[in-house]
Structure 1
């Protein structure tokens, strides 16, 4: 009798195993969103890490552990903005007013910071050349710089069987890349004492919490596009002085990475990753990605070790908003200076199973019951590129584009997903992500998850992992 090869054994095990239902996966998302502002957004927060560790143990994973890394929590206890007699609705710019270069309290003082407001529009060099920002509060437009059209144009494959791509939607940007860093450098170099960022490309919300930006040494606030217009009207009428209050503290707190294993026949390991922390409820970012990792862990746990050609490692990170300290520590421990014989040969990352959203005619967020455009970033072999395309089509993942990193790496400067540090360490990656405009906003609630795709996404990536498990390690990367 002929002994089945590892690929045949794995295929048989996959057919026998079941995938959790949409309802089951969604229940895990619901559980996680109950831990609002979880992870490093809450001081010494064990909730999501404890929940996920228990889930992995329930599924039968072994060597379940929580790796800690030193991170921090930023919290404003008071923020106010007035121009003349007018109070302006706003949110503090998280991580701003970093006066101590580290942990500690910050405050504009009991009387706040009063200074003239200088408007620099989009904050280009010429805009600053026309004004004197010394000792001023700078008003500028935050612009998002990565429209969908760029990602679709860079793709080698788009699955859109019903022709749903709408040219009118392609100029919509996601909030990941913006002009903030370059404008902030000009603001500080010009000698400003504070800033007000107008969310000019955003829906009518100031509750945005982008990822960590270091060295914001002055206080800053976000306002909506309509509030920005109001401020500019006040400036035009002669109310050119603002009073800004910002008080709070930055405290050390550990980031927690949850790790669990399904041993295989080899110490060569496939890493399956997402992140469990969130700025708000985080239904999409990233309870949805975390739940996909749980679904895959539950699915593959039904197979015997003898049916897994490679070890599977499930990893759920923290510190996504505070500087990726958890990711850096993980890479050092398991990739660049490994303390285990298990060698990571491939990475699969899943993030953001999201409903599409646009800015409606009234400026409000308009959400649609269809998937947000999504990309699969990858730097794998041509055979595995074809595997990705077949899996996407077989499981009906509409509006999905395959994005080769040899094209996009130079354009973006990094991999714009949670897998960036692993990618930079030289591990081949296959990373699913979408970028709905509400991604960093308080509006990212449970109802934004595109529920009907939860199981299909997991099924597609189970197929991909199955092929990774039997591809020789030196044939995985591009």
Structure 2
């Protein structure tokens, strides 16, 4: 099968949240594919919180009814009646209503944070990217809680398409008040009527389940390791987030399985983690279970989100012919950065920025972020299209033209580590941070 056919196969199973049947199916499917390539495969258990939404609706006392989507990991309610008021005017006991817009990120600013970039079109001077978070990232409910609100309603009025299917927050932190997302049109209708009395229903169930990391290995020609990974769950059927990452890592395994052991630069571990949508539970579990391996890891490569840039047209998302901006979070070791820059250019991966792992926050915004504070050298590919956590993440949003070049880039980067050892990369990064 082609990389795209794998993506289509995965998304056809339906919603792939951690612990859902489609995610369990994906674990088994991956294990079968990897074993068929000739890899040694293990399913390693990961315990996490599974969150499942039920009914979501807002009813005003006037009789109007607006459909909603419960905010992940907020408290369930079968009916909370209170006064609705704008967040800035909310009093204790109210249901706070907030207009939510996503952050507009000029790429000229991101370019200033980059160590290198590949922009043959010269678009970064003017290109503005809409990323799938507001300015508070996942802390959407916290201001309402600070005001003593009894509930929260997020009106997605600032998005360029109509949706209420926004799967944020996904940090598995349970908030003690209920929350509901409304689409932009319904949100504006509510805001025009505030303050008003009414009721929200935001039903959900949380329980603890056991999922699995899929871990597959190939022996190489050195005593060291390279890890190539992504996560296998997603918020919806989620073609970009992260069926594309699954397929790219699977393709990496297929390609390296065809290479003789003597020509593999290091032992190779292909990691498909569970529970990205539950605070990267699988990545954290893998690190805890394999801490003794980390000192021998030359590089951890992470592949997420081969995405097309979209535009909002008449309340819907329309894919363009261009890829979403590509971020390559790369440990500050000169030869590693040079390898990544040369690879991006060789594969023609336009609209690429090479960024330090801590460019935006102490860790990169990837599922593999927790390798960074452990001192593991990394190259993390990620794009962040505005529909990333929405049910609009369908196969037509996949950057099909970028799949083979991205797979080629991952192969080149791993091959380029031949003769490297973990200590020298770590020393290079340490020398940069603490120059003599």
TM over 0.5: yes
Q: Within 5 Å, which residues of 2 pair with 1:326-405?
A: 326-335=282-291, 338=292, 343-360=296-313, 362-405=314-357
Of 61, 80, 86, the residue aligned with 1:113 is: 80
Q: Tell me, in whole angstroms, the C-alpha distance in 2 between the residues paired with 1:400 and 1:132.
A: 43
Q: Tell me, in whole angstroms, the C-alpha distance in 1 between the residues paired with 2:19 and 2:100.
A: 23
Larger Cα Rg: Structure 1 or Structure 2? 1
- Give the superposition deviation at 1:426: 1.4
* Alpha-carbon contact 1:75-1:249 (below 8 Å) kept: yes
Q: Within 5 Å, which residues of 2 pair with 1:62-461?
A: 62=40, 64-83=41-60, 84-97=62-75, 106-108=76-78, 112-120=79-87, 127=88, 131-145=89-103, 147-149=105-107, 150-165=109-124, 167=126, 169-170=127-128, 172-176=129-133, 178-179=135-136, 181-182=138-139, 184-202=141-159, 203-210=161-168, 211-235=170-194, 240-335=196-291, 338=292, 343-360=296-313, 362-405=314-357, 408=359, 411-461=360-410
Deviations 1:315-371 (A, max 9, x none): 001101112221111001112xx2x699323100001001111333x3432320221
Change (3 A) 1:248 1:182: closer
Unpaired runs of 5+ residues, structure 2, are 430-436
- Give the superposition deviation at 1:184: 2.2
- Give the superposition deviation at 1:204: 1.4
Of 26, 36, 41, the residue aligned with 2:14 is: 36
* Alpha-carbon contact 1:255-1:325 (below 8 Å) kept: no
Give runs of ≥4 in structure 1 deviating > 6 Å: none
RMSD, matched Cα:
2.1
Deviations 1:104-136 (A, max 9, x none): xx433xxx211101102xxxxxx3xxx352111
Q: Tell me, in whole angstroms, the C-alpha distance in 1 between the residues paired with 2:98 and 2:364.
A: 28
Matched, 1:470 2:419: yes
Q: Tell me, in whole angstroms, the C-alpha distance in 1 between the residues paired with 2:172 and 2:144.
A: 14
Q: Tell me, in whole angstroms, the C-alpha distance in 1 between the residues paired with 2:209 and 2:366.
A: 23
Change (3 A) 1:132 1:38: closer
Question: Secondary structure of the equivalent of 1:309?
Answer: coil
* Alpha-carbon contact 1:44-1:254 (below 8 Å) kept: no
Question: Secondary structure of the equivalent of 1:218?
Answer: coil
Change (3 A) 1:457 1:434: same
Task: Out of 153-162 and 346-355, give the one that drifted further.
Answer: 153-162
* Alpha-carbon contact 2:244-2:305 (below 8 Å) kept: yes
Match of 1:123 in 2: none
Change (3 A) 1:26 1:43: closer
Q: Tell me, in whole angstroms, the C-alpha distance in 1 between the residues paired with 2:223 and 2:210.
A: 29
Match of 1:19 in 2: none
- Give the superposition deviation at 1:138: 0.3
Match of 1:9 in 2: none
Deviations 1:254-303 (A, max 9, x none): 23110111101223100001011111111111010111111111111111
Task: Out of 173-182 and 251-260, give the one that drifted further.
Answer: 173-182
Change (3 A) 1:455 1:44: closer
Q: Tell me, in whole angstroms, the C-alpha distance in 1 between the residues paired with 2:140 and 2:368.
A: 27
Change (3 A) 1:446 1:469: same
Change (3 A) 1:373 1:181: closer
Q: Tell me, in whole angstroms, the C-alpha distance in 2 between the residues paired with 1:296 and 1:259.
A: 14
Q: Tell me, in whole angstroms, the C-alpha distance in 1 between the residues paired with 2:96 and 2:307.
A: 35
